[in-house]
Amino acid sequence: MAKHPVSLTVNGDEHDLLIEPRKTLLAVLRDTIGLTGTKEGCSTGDCGACTVIVEGKAVTSCMVLGVTAAGKEITTIEGLASDGALHPVQRAFIETGGYQCGFCTPGFIIAAKALLDENPARTEEEFRHALGGNICRCTGYTKILEAVMQAAEEIRTTA
Amino acid sequence: MKSFEFFEPTTLAEASRMFTQEHAQLLAGGTDLIIGMKAYTETPQAVISLQKIPGLAGIATDADNGITIGAMTKAREVELSEDIQQHHTALAEGAAEIGSIQIRNLATIGGNIAHASPAADTVAGLLVADAQVDIASAGGERTVPIEALFTGPGQTVLAPGEIITAFRLPRATAGSHYIKHKIREVMDLAFIGVAAAVDMDDATITDARIGLAAVAPTPIRAIEAENLLKGNSLSDVLLAEAGEAAAAACSPISDLRCSAEHRRQMVDVLTRRTVQEAVARA
Ligand code: FES
Ligand code: FES
């Protein structure tokens, strides 16, 4: 089937691509652009490993057709650090040990970043609920929530 | 996923004409369609995206607190809309029950309804809001009350080429509530969904609407239960009667989620709870 010309901005860089309509945004990011930080877990919207930010909103990129992302701004895990400085959520995950195998981590970090941008003044219970679309099979979530709460605290006090 | 031609029309008329072709599918948020295509349960030859058609997304409130929700409005926006939270609480609560935030940032209310799952999370709230569904096609426009939209699981009265454009909620309800019976806190499908909305004059229930999801081949209103409530004030006896009437109105199936008998009993229980809460909020 005919490929479509698609221009999109990923982490500030513009990409002009030719993509097949059936390619998901996740596949475009990983296979076409080569940004493999975003992970494919279930590919059915259930695990959150593929979470990226599109136009300021966290979405599961396995449920988005790449062609529909044309003209949009996308942020992936590779785009969170600025000038070599990690984002507070990234740092908090490292400091608290909020990961084991790390497969779910990019998705958790991106989802948490979107939540913190929206409102860092959530309770732990609220963060727990809001991160319900992200699954981790290693950690038991305790350290992940610790990391998110630590980042929230930092963002609140430095804002 | 099978290959398909992708179209992004910029007018409804164009989209409608494309959609009259065989093997064409509309793409709204994609959270049902793309999963279906990956599973090969959906194999469209043409996918028609609605995202470039202006005017299909957004929530507008008029002077009489009537609310119009564009079909392409994201579930997350419905959930967070202050007007919907205040005047149609059950609908905001229903939208908040869909998947995860990441999914609600994609999924649209139009897609949730057009997919016609009897278990759709926004449907009970739309039923008790007396929602009118605006439908457009190349041939013209028409409006259908939400309870007349569905004909069976996955089936609607929509003809080839017809596209849902908006949901109109004609007036504010004084108090409403939605309960989704489920196992997981998030990312679960409804075993059953029950919504109730009431209008009150002091302690008297002047109007009552009860919407039931996932307990019949289509979402339904529990009219007998509503009639029992109207003109009366709340009591345990009245609640028990209404719960029983609602349970009698449904024709649930047994499936891997739970048995028909459990569904029927839970309709009774959750009707009592939703009505009680709707009255408390009014
Ligand atoms: S890979 Fe997208 S949600 Fe699991
Ligand atoms: S750290 Fe292994 S899945 Fe989360």
Residues B272 and B247 occupy one common structural domain: yes
Radius of gyration of chain B (CA): 19
Domain total of chain A: 2
Q: What 8-state DSSP symbol labels residue B115?
A: T
Q: Does residue A159 register a pLDDT over 80?
A: no
Is B31 within 8 Å of A45 when comparing Cβ atoms? yes
pLDDT at position A3, please?
Answer: 94
CATH number (domain holding residue A143) = 1.10.150.120
Question: Hey, what's the torsion of the CAs at A21, A24, A30, A34, to 10 degrees?
Answer: 20
Proximal ligand: closest to the CA of A101: 2
pLDDT at position B158, please?
Answer: 97
In angstroms, how far is the first alpha carbon of chain A from the final one? 49
Q: How many CB atoms lie within 10 A of CB B78?
A: 27
ipTM of the complex: 0.97
Which of A79, A96, A124 is the C-terminal boundary of a domain? Answer: A79
Residues B121 and B149 occupy one common structural domain: yes
Look at ligand 2, atom 2, and give the residue with the nearest C-alpha: A101
pLDDT at position B257, please?
Answer: 84
Burial annotation B129-141 (CB, 10 A radius, 16+ → b, else e): bbbbbbbbbbeee
pLDDT at position A106, please?
Answer: 98
Q: How many CB atoms lie within 10 A of CB B199?
A: 19
Q: Does residue B257 form part of some domain?
A: yes
Q: Does residue B258 register a pLDDT over 90?
A: no
Residues A111 and A144 occupy one common structural domain: yes
Q: How many CB atoms lie within 10 A of CB A47?
A: 24
Q: Does residue B267 form part of some domain?
A: yes
- Residue B149 belongs to what domain range? 59-169
pLDDT at position B91, please?
Answer: 98
Is A65 within 8 Å of B30 when comparing Cβ atoms? yes
pLDDT at position B186, please?
Answer: 84
Q: Does residue B64 register a pLDDT over 90?
A: no
Task: Please give the full DSSP string across A121-146, using - where no structure is assigned.
Answer: ---HHHHHHHTTT---SSS-SHHHHH
State the pLDDT confidence band at B65, using cuts at 50, 70 and 90.
confident
Q: Which residues pair with B166 in a beta bridge?
A: B70, B134
In angstroms, how far is the first alpha carbon of chain B from the final one? 48
Predicted TM-score of the model (pTM): 0.96
- Residue A119 belongs to what domain range? 88-158
Candidate from A28, A36, A46 with most ligand 1 atoms within 8 A of CB, to mutate? A46
Instruction: Return left, alpha or beta for B181; rule: phi > 0 is left, psi -120 to 50 is alpha, else beta.
Output: beta
Q: Does residue B235 form part of some domain?
A: yes
Tens digit of pLDDT for each residue in B149-174? 999 999 999 999 999 999 999 999 99
Residues B69 and B156 occupy one common structural domain: yes
Domain total of chain B: 3
- Tell me the two tokens of residue B86: 């205040």
Residues A95 and A147 occupy one common structural domain: yes
Which residues of A fall within a CB distance of 8 Å from B49? Answer: 65, 67-68
Which of A60, A79, A98 is the C-terminal boundary of a domain? Answer: A79
State the pLDDT confidence band at B36, using cuts at 50, 70 and 90.
very high
CATH number (domain holding residue A72) = 3.10.20.30
Tens digit of pLDDT for each residue in B117-146? 988 999 999 999 999 999 999 999 999 999
Looking at per-residue pLDDT, the higher value among B189 and A15 belongs to A15
Q: Does A99 sit in the ligand 2 pocket, CB within 6 Å? A: yes
Q: Does A103 sit in the ligand 2 pocket, CB within 6 Å? A: yes
